[in-house]
Structure 1
């Protein structure tokens, strides 16, 4: 899934935004856990580390946006507490014997927040909108719909007629979907935001996702208000088909880009949850938190990866040996032991633990031994790469990360390792989240922080994003062999063969080309007040508060 901000993650002028968290400046409870000052009503209070770039399900690609979108919209299925797909807008579905046709039956009581019925046409419209080659800016997750027959051809402009795309509203309550190939995880994709429906009103309003009053959703909550740069407030959606199961009346989300301030507000009982996105708790205070609030602290491994990406189109990282040198010259164990300190695992592959393989976990079946840390070898590779490029000195290098004190600590530590181990001076630059994403997408960088959490439980969610021209491929990497491996994995329903093909693709990505520099596999480090029940953090670190309540 999604970019951490992202697993995910990620990831200030406190005085300028101090009003977003009342009482942040004082802390009368630094040395203890909860004071017991719980909300008097069914309200959940959390913080977003940055302003969501968009609330359009067809354009979203980050954790902050998706946390809100997943509360305001719902797909044909939704994720259950264990990550399994359970009925959402669709009350049932039938799958053909060959696995190529899905017929979804929508609930009669599914409603938009304004009371209009949710129909099969709302799904057909939303999916074809994402695939429309004229839709700008190009949706980063359009490729996630390529499982549908003729979807890729239409999106790439090779097919003019959208009616030939394999999604059709047979009637208001029946959606027929035809696939290119059998896809064993297709039902889990139905709970992913790019597959959410859209209300017909968006057709006449390009700015619909920027105002609370024009965002019409079909999920458990609706947007009550948005104050840019300060807060977003949600309210229970009484039109939601399962509204009787929703106990929270309100969700208050502050927007403060400081994990220290977030933790202070949690200590002061101004927040019920701290740690979003993935583990956003100050690392230098984690030891104290473990000691003072052990019953409120949650640390669990999740299927997300923290990594750096190289711009393979820009010097000096258009040379593979220089990329390999940089990746081999850092100490990942030192980073997780001395900086993150939250149970993270050093990463030498891209697919994290916890993702299904042929019979067990993919990472157990395919060990991540694609490279090793070796300073002497890294120096040799750097020299070789410089000779290949004709360099006498390495061009200036800048590493960018989105504004976050934890990301900054990691970046400074890695830059110091590059200086000490390779003799390379690297400038570290932080950027506001929206600017950071735009620069990555436009390939306006050399090295950049990134994070990725699973969109569904299959290695493909980590593999197909790096195909040529992929909407989330922010590296400029293009490789015909890689693209073919992904295409062949799509085309077979032989699970053993699929895993073999994806393992070959991961090797090309990480070992042969070092397009990504894996750093660690995430853990989720979060704090939850004892009165908050039903908060779910799934296998990939996504936060689901839809069935939460104050006890």
Structure 2
């Protein structure tokens, strides 16, 4: 266990009352700051010199976190997971940045102009925008980075996030040349972007990591620049990566070349990689960490109820949905009725009440209610066991099975983590009890697990989605084709046509109705089983201020400090 630094005394001074309750694992999300030193009292004896004033020690501005899992990549064009993005959002910056109020603001772009038809954006970059090695950030760095993502041979799973740019999708599929993509650096400081259709959330997209720049010079001379820390890892955000001890720890330090470095108070961020929630919580308790839980991990489920009763949890809604994915290319889940049966045979209410316990809302739809308010009611009935049995029987007959007990055992896969294990065990019990099927559980470390999911080596796999920007298209477009982040193998021409129609609809109410029709089609086909709408649950050192957690669940440490 790491040695506590001088920020760590907060624990002993703020939660003795909680420790006295006998909690095995305990923490505090709030408490009193350490009592200020009392002024020295004058001596009763006469003195010729006044007592010297005591020097007030300033808190060390070093933030210690647990990133939970080794990042899959630290190249902004290759990222899809929260553990990688938690690093990238600190080390890189786009044309815009989401501010403390959730609104996109100019970042590397100092000035943004949009045409009246909202089809052309002109971004003027800051004169003092620099890379961590001192190179100037140029418009060419943005143009080249975007085109790199849109080059299919590079394997960016998030390439579709740039399909709002004119000819981007055509170039990705080989139907247009790279020079036809609607992004052009007209000089070092000017980037002109043309869009396929008016996109009201485009300035939110430019704050997302798929739109981040890459140092063109470094990437050309060192193609593997993003695989390790060192002089070739250049970034343009508030912090820079100075150490990456793989599967153990990452260290970020303040980037003195960042254009807004004067705002950044933290001098260092230490990100441990510990894949165990109980250890993480114990380290918070011992003063060896300043944060536990979201956005990169979960608090121990066994401690949740007691911690909730003691008021020690921070819980906020998040625009995310937890789901299981079917491999629709393999039997028996190539059959829609069988997929529907497995979805209806789950009691989501039991799971959120007795397993996760983090204030989640039952989800019987895919898009969170932060985007479709109607989805608090959902699109189907939770725990509809009788209908599930009926659908299973019909689907089994269609596939040539005599009865459910003739179905080969189903393998449910998930990544190694306490919360995932307990949810999977609950689902295993429900499916065996309600449907009479045998379910085998299989867990793997995240990197191995996700590689198998991407390659279709699963039957049912735990996954989910947290919004990248606050619009329902971000959830629905995942399933537009079999490519990218759609691991299910399911696609529908009618579904894709609805999404295409929505992109051309300028009336907001009509666009929403089209997207809701698309969601109804998706949920009826059931390539994924929605479980619950996520929440952000964490606890922290109360002396840590101004960590900004967005409604999408991302953390920003640009403004954070210890008092």
TM-score by length of 1: 0.91
User: Given that residues 43 and 248 in structure 1 are in contact (C-alpha distance below 8 angstroms), is that contact kept between their aligned partners in structure 2?
Assistant: yes
Give 2:388's aligned residue.
378
Alignment correspondent of 1:267: 285
Match of 2:459 in 1: 446
Relative distance call for 1:330 and 1:282 in structure 2 (3 A) is same
Q: Map 1:333-372; keep pairs closer than 5 Å.
A: 333-355=349-371, 362-364=372-374, 367-372=377-382
CA–CA distance in 2 between the matches of 1:412 and 1:20? 36
SS in 2 for 1:336: helix
TM-fit CA distance, 1:497: 1.9
Is residue 552 of structure 2 the alignment partner of residue 533 of structure 1? Answer: no
CA apart distance, 1:291: 4.3
Superposition map of 1:46-445 within 5 A: 46-135=65-154, 138-159=155-176, 161-200=177-216, 201-213=218-230, 214-277=232-295, 280-292=298-310, 294=311, 296-355=312-371, 362-364=372-374, 367-392=377-402, 393-445=406-458
Equivalent residue for 2:46? none
- Separation (CA, whole Å) in 2 of partners of 1:347 and 1:39: 46
In 2, the alpha carbon distance for the partners of 1:444 and 1:465 equals: 19
* Alpha carbons 2:265, 2:559 under 8 Å: kept: yes
> Alpha-carbon deviation of 1:468?
1.2
Change (3 A) 1:21 1:425: farther
User: 402-411 or 391-400: which moved more?
Assistant: 391-400
Residue 91 of structure 1, CA deviation: 0.9
Asked if the contact 2:348/2:382 (under 8 Å) is kept, the reply is no
**Cα drift, residue 451 of structure 1:** 1.7
Structure 1 gap ranges (5+): 1-17, 356-361
Structure number with greater CO (CA < 8 Å, separation at least 6) is 1
SS of equivalent to 2:340:
helix
Give the stretch that moved more between structures: 369-378 or 44-53.
Answer: 369-378
TM-aligned CA deviation for residue 61 of structure 1: 0.1
CA contact (8 A) 1:305 1:451 kept: yes
Secondary structure of the residue that 2:94 maps to in structure 1?
coil
Inter-partner Cα distance in structure 1 for 2:443 and 2:27: 32
Number of residue-to-residue matches in the alignment: 519
Determine helix, strand or coil for the equivalent of 2:536.
Answer: strand
Instruction: Label 1:244 to 1:19 Cα distance change in 2 as closer, same or farther (>3 A).
Output: closer
| Offset of residue 134 of structure 1 | 2.5
C-alpha deviation, 1:39, in angstroms:
9.5
Alignment RMSD, CA only? 2.1
Which residue does 2:525 correspond to in 1? 513
Change (3 A) 1:523 1:366: closer
- Residue equivalent to 2:48: none
Question: What's the CA shift string for 1:106-163, capped at 9, x where partnerless?
Answer: 100000000010000000000000001332xx1111011010111011000112x211
- The yes-or-no answer on 1:459 pairing with 2:477 is no
What is the Cα deviation at residue 287 of structure 1? 2.1
Q: What is the alpha-carbon distance in structure 1 between the residues aligned to residue 526 and residue 381 of structure 2?
A: 9
CA contact (8 A) 2:61 2:266 kept: yes
Q: TM-score, normalised by structure 2?
A: 0.89
- For residues 186 and 376 of structure 2, the distance between their equivalents in structure 1, rounded to whole angstroms, comes to 43
Give the number of the structure whose alpha-carbon radius of gyration is greater.
2
Structure 1 residue 19, shift from structure 2 partner? 6.9
Indicate if the aligned counterparts of 2:299 and 2:537 stay in contact, CA closer than 8 A. Answer: yes
Q: Distance in 2 between matches of 1:103 and 1:76?
A: 11
8 A Cα contact 2:283 2:289, kept in partner:
yes
Q: Is the 8 A contact 1:72 1:219 kept in 2?
A: yes
Q: C-alpha separation between the residues in 1 aligned to 2:559 and 2:290? A: 15
Instruction: Provide, for residues 459-484 of structure 1, a one-character-per-residue CA deviation record: whole Å limited to 9, x for no partner.
Output: 11111111113311110011000111
> C-alpha distance in 1, partners of 2:169/2:27?
52
C-alpha separation in 2, matches of 1:412 and 1:341:
16
Q: Measure, in 2, the Cα distance between the counterparts of 1:82 and 1:105.
A: 24
Q: For 2:285 and 2:562, how far apart are their aligned partners in 1? A: 17
- Tell me, what secondary structure is at the counterpart of 2:452? helix
Structure 2 unmatched ranges of 5 or more: 35-56
SS in 2 for 1:384: helix
